[in-house]
């Protein structure tokens, strides 16, 4: 039981460090762009994985969020397609790049895939 608590604490600390390092659009745009283009970045693979993980999580959660945050991606949309949507949004609105990547991606998805009631 102790090792489980230790492992969870380790994951929490690592996640917080990752969020600090790769949290904003400024920090993650190049890695998301590289993921979308299928090209590796010059740094480690972690930033691309962070981008994909955030987007994949949002795709799963989007339709179940409260109404002011909800978005409804089309059936069968892939993580890669959604990353391209987020990258295009970040390129179109560079003044928003200082916001957290998760917020920017949610804004992009709500704009492109609003839920029809």
| Residue span of the structural domain in which 64 resides | 2-112
pTM: 0.77
- Taking 3-state DSSP, the helix, strand and coil percentages for the chain, each rounded to the nearest 5, stand at 70, 0, 30
Q: How far is CA 100 from the centre of its chain?
A: 9
CB 29 within 8 A of CB 1: no
CATH code of the domain containing 91: 1.10.890
In a domain, 33, yes or no: yes
Residue 117 falls within a domain, yes or no? Answer: no
- Residue 70 falls within a domain, yes or no? yes
Structural domains of the chain, count: 1
74-117 pLDDT, tens digit per residue, is: 999 999 999 999 999 999 999 999 999 999 999 999 999 999 87
Residue 75 Ramachandran class (φ > 0 left, ψ -120 to 50 alpha, else beta) = beta
Q: For residue 42, what pLDDT is reported?
A: 59
Is the Cβ–Cβ distance between 36 and 83 less than 8 Å?
A: yes
The number of residues in the chain equals 117
Residue 10: inside a domain = yes
**Considering the domain boundaries, does residue 23 fall inside one?**
yes
pLDDT confidence of residue 35: 87
Percent share of the chain, pLDDT over 70: 75
Give a yes or no: residue 65 inside a domain: yes
User: Which residue, 47, 31, 50, 51, is CA-closest to 39?
Assistant: 31
């Amino acid at each position: 039981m102790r090792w489980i608590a230790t492992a969870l604490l380790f994951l929490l600390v690592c996640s917080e460090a990752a969020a600090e390092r790769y949290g904003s659009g400024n920090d993650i745009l190049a890695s998301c762009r590289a993921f979308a283009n299928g090209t590796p970045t010059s740094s480690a693979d972690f930033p691309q994985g962070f981008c994909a993980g955030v987007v994949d999580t949002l795709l799963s959660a989007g339709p179940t969020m409260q109404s002011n945050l909800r978005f409804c991606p089309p059936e069968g949309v892939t993580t890669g397609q959604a990353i391209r949507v987020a990258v295009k949004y970040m390129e179109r609105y560079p003044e928003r790049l200082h916001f957290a990547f998760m917020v920017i991606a949610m804004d992009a998805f709500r704009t492109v895939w609003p839920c029809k009631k």
